[in-house]
């Protein structure tokens, strides 16, 4: 019979007694130092295998935080299916089934490594998972009622996911009163494909406002690297400004960059150039944390050695020898001005409503909130993004988002013409080129790219 889950008070006492730094403490130190904390993705099904993976990554990659990426069965609360997979062949799982393994094994993993752990998962209803994570001593938990629903689930009503995540956030508030500050990372990465900065940040602002109202005291806002330096730096630097504008005092807010999550170059040298570019972007943008990538991204789930190599390469970007590297501050300033303006135009009508949760549901139903390429029938996905000639992500069509005329016209102008210039097959081809931006930049093509072996050992799980 499984041991009863400890009470919240018992779990808080365990975390405090361990003497291990919390994720919030690591992030605060990273922000002060100007060097982003580094964290890989990783998650496999077997307990011994997960322990070995964490140890190898800590030994070979020297991360500041480590990840337990959760399997799909657990994400969807199919705990019996996860248990059956563990009994038959844990290699069929695409992550670590923490609820099935239980909090005692979770504590074993937590005590095995010196750095704090974060749970990354993609669940629209993570209540059991969160309870097990807290009992395990985990001090960072990713997701939100919008960002862990619409990019992943086909038909989970937003009202349901928002209510489930509100319970998680209220529990974080109780933990804070018990002296344990849980880092709540918001998945602004969303679908990770051509996400306009103002959509990413708007969703995170709404989730952050709800989390802070529930008592959350540490919020990490993650942003997906789009690939245009000035735009990405501007988006990262916008995060503390948005926090100051919309969140109450006393909430710690950290910017997090996810290294490019789109189509990766297949050639190792090209992939490593992109990884290093992402790490420099995080540094220039003032990010507190960087979620790293590997040179094996184009082939599937990378192995542990590639994962550690990605961490070491990203770490080089934090060298004081690179203090001479700068960015065009005028270009960043212009991008930031418009990102802040567009984000305000999207969120402020929703924030002005009497109840935030119902306003979010209504706005998504009407298309006044939206995300591109969503899997869910609860988002219209009428927004069409494109890259402009410089590679920045713009609105080809904002759908029904309440952008001002000036914002919409600027996007059209930077794209080079009226929004209806490309349609049908030509628009699809243009979007494909935009999605394949980096392989094409390096002279690779989907058909003629240099081939390489697909790694056989799972070392991390792609998304979240």
Q: Can 167 be counted among the known catalytic residues?
A: no
Cα–Cα distance for residue pair 34/207, rounded to 1 Å = 26
* Per-residue tokens: 138: 């985990």
Cα–Cα distance for residue pair 142/122, rounded to 1 Å = 8
Q: Averaged over 350-371, what is the pLDDT?
A: 98
Count of positions (residues) in the chain: 464
Cα–Cα distance for residue pair 100/110, rounded to 1 Å = 16
Determine contact, residues 230/263, Cβ cutoff 8 Å: no
Cα–Cα distance for residue pair 362/226, rounded to 1 Å = 29
Q: Is the pLDDT of residue 447 over 80?
A: no
Select which of 118, 142, 342, 444 is catalytic.
142
Name 81's Cβ contacts closer than 8 Å, sequence gap at least 6.
Answer: 73
Residue 426, Ramachandran bin (φ over 0: left; ψ between -120 and 50: alpha; else beta): alpha
Cα–Cα distance for residue pair 10/221, rounded to 1 Å = 29
Q: What is the pLDDT of residues 377-415, one digit of tens each?
A: 999 999 999 999 999 999 999 999 999 999 999 999 999
Q: Tell me the H-state helices in 124-185.
A: 127-136, 158-177
SS3 track for 247-279: CCCCCEEEEEEECCCCCCCCCHHHHHHHHHHHH
Q: Is the pLDDT of residue 28 over 60?
A: yes
Q: Would you kindly state where each structural domain of the chain is located, as residue ranges? A: 8-322
Closest CA to 427 of 376, 368, 386: 386
Q: Is the pLDDT of residue 446 over 80?
A: no
Confidence band of 301 (pLDDT split at 50, 70, 90): confident
Q: Can 56 be counted among the known catalytic residues?
A: no
DSSP for residue 323:
T
Beta strands at 252-258 and 393-397: parallel, antiparallel or unpaired: unpaired
The CATH number for 8-322, chosen from 3.20.20.240, 3.40.47.10, 2.170.190.11, 3.40.50.460, is 3.20.20.240
Confidence band of 457 (pLDDT split at 50, 70, 90): very low
Q: Averaged over 447-456, what is the pLDDT?
A: 38
Cα–Cα distance for residue pair 128/141, rounded to 1 Å = 13
Mean pLDDT of the chain: 94
Select which of 31, 75, 237, 380 is catalytic.
75
Q: Tell me the H-state helices in 121-252.
A: 127-136, 158-177, 197-214, 229-246
- Look at residue 456 in the predicted model and tell me its pLDDT: 34
Q: How far is CA 419 from CA 27, 205, 383, in A?
A: 41, 28, 12
- Look at residue 449 in the predicted model and tell me its pLDDT: 41
Q: Averaged over 70-99, what is the pLDDT?
A: 97
Q: Considering just the CA atoms, what is the radius of gyration of the chain in Å?
A: 21
**How many CA atoms lie within 13 Å of 159's alpha carbon, on the beta-carbon side?**
6
Q: How far is CA 292 from CA 61, 99, 237, 389, 420, in A?
A: 11, 26, 19, 27, 37
Give the Cβ contact number of residue 88 at 10 Å: 9
């Amino acid at each position: 019979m499984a041991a009863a889950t400890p009470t919240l008070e018992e779990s808080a006492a365990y975390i405090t007694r361990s003497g291990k730094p919390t994720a919030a403490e690591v992030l605060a130190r990273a922000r002060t130092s100007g060097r982003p904390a580094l964290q890989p993705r990783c998650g496999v099904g077997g307990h011994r295998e997960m322990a070995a993976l964490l140890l190898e990554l800590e030994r070979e990659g020297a991360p500041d935080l480590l990840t337990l990426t959760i399997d799909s069965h657990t994400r969807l609360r199919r705990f019996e299916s996860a248990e059956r997979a563990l009994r038959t062949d844990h290699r069929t799982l695409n992550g670590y089934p923490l609820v099935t393994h239980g909090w005692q094994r979770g504590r074993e993993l937590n005590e095995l490594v010196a750095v704090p752990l974060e749970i990354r998962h993609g669940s629209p209803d993570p209540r059991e998972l969160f309870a097990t994570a807290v009992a395990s001593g985990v001090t960072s938990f990713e997701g939100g009622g919008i960002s862990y629903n619409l990019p992943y689930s086909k038909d989970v009503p937003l009202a349901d996911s928002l209510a489930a995540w509100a319970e998680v956030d209220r529990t974080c508030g109780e933990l804070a009163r018990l002296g344990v500050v849980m880092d709540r990372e918001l998945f602004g990465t969303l679908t990770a494909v051509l996400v306009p900065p103002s959509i990413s940040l708007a969703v995170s602002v709404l989730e952050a406002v709800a989390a802070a109202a529930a008592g959350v005291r540490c919020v990490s806002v993650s942003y997906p690297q789009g690939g245009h330096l000035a735009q990405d730096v501007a988006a990262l630097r916008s995060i503390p400004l948005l926090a100051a504008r919309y969140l109450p005092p006393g909430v710690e807010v950290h910017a997090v960059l996810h290294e490019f999550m789109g189509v990766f170059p297949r050639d190792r040298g090209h992939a490593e150039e992109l990884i290093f570019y992402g790490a420099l972007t995080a540094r220039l943008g003032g990010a507190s944390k960087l979620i790293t990538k590997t040179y094996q991204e184009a082939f599937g789930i990378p192995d542990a050695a590639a994962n550690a190599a990605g961490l070491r390469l990203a770490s080089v970007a934090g060298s004081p020898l690179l203090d001479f590297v700068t960015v065009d501050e005028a270009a960043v300033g212009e991008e930031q001005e418009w990102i802040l303006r567009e984000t305000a135009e999207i969120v402020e009508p929703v924030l002005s409503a009497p109840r935030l949760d119902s306003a979010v549901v209504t706005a998504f139903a009407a298309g006044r909130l939206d995300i591109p390429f969503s899997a869910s029938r609860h988002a219209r996905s009428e927004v069409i993004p494109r890259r402009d000639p410089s590679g920045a992500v713009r609105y080809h069509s904002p759908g029904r988002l309440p952008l001002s005329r000036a914002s919409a016209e600027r996007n059209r102008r930077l794209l080079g013409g009226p929004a209806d210039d490309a349609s049908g097959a030509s628009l699809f081809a243009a979007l494909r080129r935009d999605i394949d931006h980096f392989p094409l930049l390096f002279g690779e093509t989907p058909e003629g790219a240099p081939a390489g072996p697909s790694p056989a050992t799972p070392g991390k799980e792609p998304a979240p």
